[in-house]
A and B are shown apart, each in its own frame.
Chain A
Amino acid sequence: MTRKIVIVGYGMAGSRLAEEIRRRDTDNVSVTVIGAEPHPAYNRILLSSVVGGGMTPQMVRLHGDDWAEKHDVDLRLGTTVDGIDRAARTVTLTDGSTVDYDALVLATGSRPWLPPTEGLLNDGVLAPGAVAFRTLDDCEQIVAASKPGAPVAVVGGGLLGLEAARGLASRGNLVTVVHPVGHLMERQLDAGAGRVLAATLATLGIEVRLGVKAARYLPGDGLKLDDGSHVPADLVVVSAGVIPETTLAKDAGLTVERGIVVDDALRTSDFRVHAIGDCAQHPGTISGLVQPAWEQAAVLADLLTGAQPASRYRGTPVVTRLKAKDVDLAALGDVHAEVDSSDAEVLCLTDPTRGRYAKLVLRDDRVAGAIVIGAPDAAATITQLYDRGIPAPSDRIALLLGRALPPGASVAHSPADLPAATTVCRCNTVSKSQLVKAWRGGARGVSGLATATRATTGCGGCRDTVSAIADWLASSEETTP
């Protein structure tokens, strides 16, 4: 008997789940995927690259045209689910047809939250010249509407808004970000980091307006802000946050709070109905990120196929990485502890002129939170320590700065200062003292020292050092009567 699995949603979460199921199982379950958009699944993470021009819509597709057929998936595109009949275990599609399920998975994602800006909505849809930043179609609209040199306003200074802003600036647009809070990315950053980020964006030609709301949208003209000022814009991109798409679940009587409530087995209040991705609400993570969605997909595939009945989703530690060219920003964990905190060790370094900010929060010797702007190596290392729960190195400053060591061995200092035991020629294990001894034994010049000690005869990389030592020995001999 094959079990019928129906996945509602063919986005990052739904498509991944179908893949994960087929990776584990090819026979025992049937898989139906219902996607609202007309395209094959695409990688939402890369949409800012589409806006920036680095990638074409074709390149961000997650699946080829033959994916469904190759993996025996019943894929229905351009259709949505109107309702769930939990008693009959069927879903009804917009065309009136029904699909039976043994297990139903809601992967309906989220939809943009639209601010109450006057004139932004016409009959519930965005007015001409305003576009959300959520779907591939949105991106194509943005690309079509944003001619290089044209002014564009981005409503929302969160992660996605800033990625869109950076993409648009790369295309040559004059971008203004309008953000209602006092600093950018307030969910992930403290005020100091927000200031450094705004300064960095300014150097890339992105203007940031903080603590103001867009009061009115004037198509073809721009935005009027609630402080009375005006932001000129041919195009307004709205990226002010998302709302989990829970309508279906609510209508079906499932428990819904902000999102569809799920347990560690990713079950909703009906054990036959699961939810993953942005639409789901699990206590261990926040929604809106792909990493949790993919981890949930893997766990749910384990459970639905019976491959790993003990598999559970326990949450995903969140690491926020801004994907914006020339802005390197990472934020993770608890970032709001202050330097004088009594229950945490907190370090903070600010260099706004050079676009650098590094804050590190440690508890019990482990990284509890961090913000790193403009120091990619530090960000990468701190993230590893955080994810792996490894005790942090005791040299905290080196950790904060990134690379602890200067690259490359230096030959710069005087041979006189070199400790006698220093290995000069690695290939032949020749120390400075052996070279000195050879000199005393009558060896002269690089070739003489080479013959006596074999220094320089391997890769030859120490030739300069040996030469310097030979010169130093020669000169010290001259000065010694």
Chain B
Amino acid sequence: MTITAPLTGTIDTHCPYCALQCGMRLAGKTVEPREFPTNRGGLCQKGWTSAALLDSPGRLTEPLVRVDGELRPATWDRALDLIANQLIEIQATHGRDAVAVFGGGGLTNEKSYLLGKFARVALGTSRIDYNGRFCMSSAAAAGMKAFGMDRGLPFPVEDLQQADTVLLVGGNPAETMPPFIQHLKSAELIVVDPRRSATAEQAVLHLQPAPGTDLALALGILHAVVADGHLRHDYLADRTTGFDEVWRIAATWWPERVERVTGVAAADQRAAAAMLATATNAYVLTARGTEQHARGADMVSAWINLALALGLPGRAGSGFGCLTGQGNGQGGREHGQKADQLPGYRKLDDPAARAHVAAVWGVDPDSLPAPGVSAYELLDEGPRGLLVFGSNVVVSAPHAGRVEDKLSAVDFLVVADVVMSETAAMADVVLPVTQWAEEDGTLTNLEGRILLRRKAVRPPANVRTDLEVLHGLAQRLGQPADRFPVDAEEVFEELRRASAGGIADYSGVTYARLREGEALHWPVPATDHPGTPRAFLDRFAHADGLARFVPVDHSGPAEPPDEEFPLQATTGRVLQHYQSGAQTRLVPELMKAVPEMYVEVHPDTAARAGLENGDLADVVSRRGRVRARVRCVASIRVDLVFLPFHFPGEGRANLLTNPELDPTSRMPEFKVCAVRLEAA
């Protein structure tokens, strides 16, 4: 069946940006907020101005093919024929894995799913990963280890309104998802952030650890929980396993020792422990600040250990969660665009999973490739052919200068995007695809709720959906036409079957149920199943139903400061921009508010470098040099600088960042590297 989308009048939709997926109403090309549980009628400036991109002059409206070094308009047939021929040739000469696919956390579930299938079936390559690797992978890995399941918030976001205490680690929702703050109003907020962020300013207690020392801080608070008699012995016995080994490590991290490593006062660690322990309802939430480290999975495990010691996860009114970043950062990590994964959060190296999914796809399980490499490794190993969907890696990947070099060396680069991103500008073929309001599709928000975003406006004439692109390419690569449907609902029907029985089971979700406004949080194993708004209340997802304490110890940042690079840099976001900024930098109102790259510096540190507020500075690491406007901020540590990562060219914060990868999650160390500051 098809959706009859009213292309005029008003239609309820969701914001194209972050994982809060604020409810909004689109009337023509005007946005208005609407009541929805996640945003309660609120919208930030990004949301309010999101429709500006629908008819932006920066919009891609026709396929482009590089001829004599220049991107020139071409027909779809020409573009797709060219791509197919090139990919066939590359694979014939260099093998299947010579062609890689790079996806994105903004893609709908249907696109993510079909992209994974396209890579494994049409291209037969193991080389597929996506920018969510840079985003949610540490939280995902730790969540799987502890709970046997990774759903960002395993409870509806409104539950937070009943909390007495919320510990937010490395998150700045006042900038990244402003309407979310409404859910924290009644809680006493503890914020862990090296910076006095907009969110930290709202905290009752702000813990400012030195960058990369979060794990020690978590151990110190856990130590205080135990030492001050707050350990939940009953819960530990009934619902968990493995505490003793964790305690042996935490016992060696008494708060005074932790203070010396982190700079967080022992008294504040004890205060945090007491606030969490004496609350009737409490939550521990993590975000990128603690996850984007070369030991990010361990850092999240440490915070989960703390939550478990306090008896929070799986208790009604309390819990542990991570704040997902990208619009479909949750659904995007469940359905197979990850290197080691098949739909339904299945493991690609699990024979039963391969058999199930291969049957749905109508292929031989043995034909499915083995798990591939993670996002940065995929770019770094230098594929011969690369297809990028919805990601701007030359801005958003770590060690961006190297990634740019690698991309330049790719024989054949294809980018499908809405706008001419910096990555698209390097491509051999650029495919203009539809965006949020121009297509149907589902997304899974930060609380694991599946949302239907309906087509509200007609796309520009010569723009196609990603599904149509994959369909067209797959056919040219010799696949049967019906194996890659173009209709979103049809793809979703297949996704339902492929995910059935998996951890992220969508088999009970239908477009009809979503159209009727049902609030469905996965797993939804049957069409008469009400969904699972609150997971883990009775048992965790491991076979024995118990949550696992995971023993982890502190080791510190991969690149400590030294004489040559005496400062530490951390990266993050500003309210007005989203991710690499490819979209938001095209919205005049947002650019007016935050027009250029800047660096936050302590006034003393600026003065030492001969800089004043407003001067241009160079921030230099072992890997690159970034030009940025100095903003003097008295509340930042004297040895820390902060850079937003939304800007292109010589303002790319990721020119500096360290591509050291987490051993489990393969997350790069975005959040801390050693730098020095120079006058430009």
Give the B-binding residues of A (Cβ under 8 A).
Answer: 43, 45-46, 49, 54-55, 59-64, 291, 319, 321, 323, 328, 376-377, 379-381, 383-385, 387-388, 390-394, 404-405, 407-409, 426-429, 454, 457-461
Nearest chain A residue, comparing its CB with the CB of B210? A384
Residues of B within 8 Å of A379, CB to CB, are: 259, 265
A380 x B264 contact (CB < 8 A)? yes
Kindly identify which residue among B210, B226, B245 contacts A59, using a CB–CB cutoff of 8 Å: B226
- Chain B residues with a Cβ under 8 A of chain A: 33, 41-45, 48, 174-175, 178-182, 196, 198, 201-204, 206, 210, 226-229, 244-245, 247-248, 251-252, 254, 256-257, 259-260, 263-268, 561, 566, 575-576, 593, 602, 604, 607-608, 634-635, 638-639
Q: Which of B203, B263, B602 contacts A383 (CB 8 A)?
A: B263
Interface centre among A291, A376, A387, A427 (most CB of B within 10 A): A427
**Contact yes or no, B44 A391, CB < 8 A:** no
**Contact among B179, B267, B604 for A376, CB-based, below 8 A:** B267
* A393 CA / B602 CA spacing, docked (Å): 9
- Bound: A381/B268 CA distance, A: 13
Q: Which of B42, B244, B634 contacts A405 (CB 8 A)?
A: B634
Complex formed: what's the CA distance from A383 to B634 in Å? 19
Which residues of B sit under 8 angstroms from A387, Cβ to Cβ? 260
Instruction: Give which listed residue, B181, B257, B266, contacts A328 with CB less than 8 A.
Output: B266
Establish whether residues A54 and B227, one from each chain, have CB atoms under 8 Å apart when the complex forms.
Answer: yes
Asked whether, in the complex, the Cβ of B634 is within 8 Å of the Cβ of A404, the reply is yes
Known contacts: A59-B251, A459-B42. The answer to whether A388 contacts B639 by CB under 8 A is yes
- Contact across chains for A62 and B251 when beta carbons are under 8 A apart: yes
Interface of A is mostly: loop
Q: Are B181 and A461 in contact (CB under 8 A)?
A: yes
Q: A376-B267, A457-B43 are in contact. Are A405 and B635 (CB under 8 A)?
A: yes
Contact B259 A321 (CB under 8 A): yes
A409 to B200, CA, bound (A): 10
Q: B48's closest neighbor in chain A, by CB?
A: A454
Closest to A377 in B: B265
- In the complex, A457 Cα to B204 Cα: how many Å? 24
For A380, the closest partner residue in chain B by CB is B265
Q: Assuming the A-B contacts A49-B227, A376-B266, are A63 and B248 also in contact, with contact meaning beta carbons closer than 8 angstroms in the complex?
A: yes
CB distance from A98 to the nearest CB of B (A): 32
Contact check, A391 vs B604: say whether CB atoms are below 8 A apart. yes
Tell me the smallest distance from the CB of A459 to a CB of chain B, in Å: 4
B639 to chain A minimum Cβ distance, whole angstroms, is: 5
A residues less than 8 Å from B42 (CB atoms): 427, 457-460
Given contacts A405-B635, A426-B575, contact A383 B604 (CB under 8 A): no
Query: Is the pair A428, B608 in contact by a Cβ cutoff of 8 Å?
Result: no
Q: Are B251 and A408 in contact (CB under 8 A)?
A: no
Whether the pair B45, A429 counts as a contact (CB closer than 8 A) is yes
Q: Are B593 and A429 in contact, CB atoms less than 8 angstroms apart?
A: yes
The 9 closest A-B pairs by CB, nearest first: A376-B265, A459-B181, A376-B267, A321-B256, A427-B178, A384-B263, A380-B265, A458-B178, A429-B593
Q: Bound state CA distance, A454 and B41, in angstroms?
A: 12
A454 and B604 CA atoms in complex are apart in Å by: 37
Q: Which residues of A have CB within 8 Å of B181?
A: 459-461
Would you call B229 and A408 a contact (CB within 8 A)? no
Q: Which residues of B contact A461 (CB under 8 A)?
A: 174, 181, 202
A321-B256, A428-B45, A457-B43 known; A407+B206 contact, CB < 8 A: yes
Distance to closest chain B CB from A407 (angstroms): 7
A406 CB to closest chain B CB (Å) equals: 10
A458 to B176, CA, bound (A): 11
Contacts of A407 in B (CB 8 A): 201, 203-204, 206
A460: chain B residues at CB < 8 Å are 42, 181-182
- The answer for the CA separation of A49 and B638 in the assembled complex, in Å, is 35
Among A62, A393, A409, A458, which residue has its beta carbon within 8 angstroms of that of B604? A393
Q: Which residues of A contact B245 (CB under 8 A)?
A: 64
A-B contacts, 22 listed (Cβ < 8 Å):
A59-B247, A62-B252, A321-B256, A328-B267, A376-B266, A377-B265, A377-B268, A379-B265, A380-B259, A380-B264, A391-B608, A392-B638, A394-B607, A426-B575, A429-B576, A454-B43, A457-B33, A458-B43, A459-B42, A459-B174, A459-B180, A461-B174
- A377 vs B262: C-alpha distance when bound (angstroms): 12
Give the CA-CA distance A394 to B251 in the complex, in Å: 37
Instruction: Tell me how far the C-beta of B480 lies from the nearest C-beta in chain A, rounded to whole angstroms.
Output: 48
What separation, in Å, do the CA atoms of A429 and B45 have in the docked complex? 7
CA distance A427 to B608 in the complex (A): 34
Chain A residue contacts of B576, Cβ below 8 A: 429
Which residues does chain B contribute within 8 Å of A392, judged by CB atoms? 638
A390 adjacent to B638 (CB under 8 Å): yes
For residue B254, which residue of chain A has the nearest CB?
A45
A428–B44 contact, CB under 8 A?
Answer: yes
Q: Which residues of B contact A63 (CB under 8 A)?
A: 248
Point out which of B229, B254, B607 has the most chain A C-beta atoms below 10 A from its C-beta: B254
Nearest B residue to A385, CB-CB: B638
Tell which of A376, A383, A404, A405 touches B260, judged by Cβ atoms closer than 8 Å: A383
Chain B residues within 8 Å of A405, by CB: 196, 634-635
Taken together as a complex, chains A and B put the C-alpha atoms of A64 and B638 apart, in Å, by 42
A61 to B248, CA, bound (A): 8
Across-interface contacts of A381 in B (CB, < 8 A)? 263
- A43-B251, A323-B254, A409-B201 in contact; A64/B244 too (CB < 8 A)? yes
A-B contact sample (16 more), CB < 8 A, given A376-B268, A460-B42: A45-B257, A54-B227, A323-B256, A376-B266, A377-B265, A380-B264, A390-B566, A391-B608, A393-B602, A429-B576, A457-B41, A457-B48, A458-B44, A459-B174, A459-B178, A461-B202
User: A55 contacts which chain B residues (CB < 8 A)?
Assistant: 226-227
Nearest CB of A to B21, in Å: 15
Q: Are A426 and B178 in contact (CB under 8 A)?
A: yes
Q: How far is the CB of B424 from chain A (nearest CB, A)?
A: 28
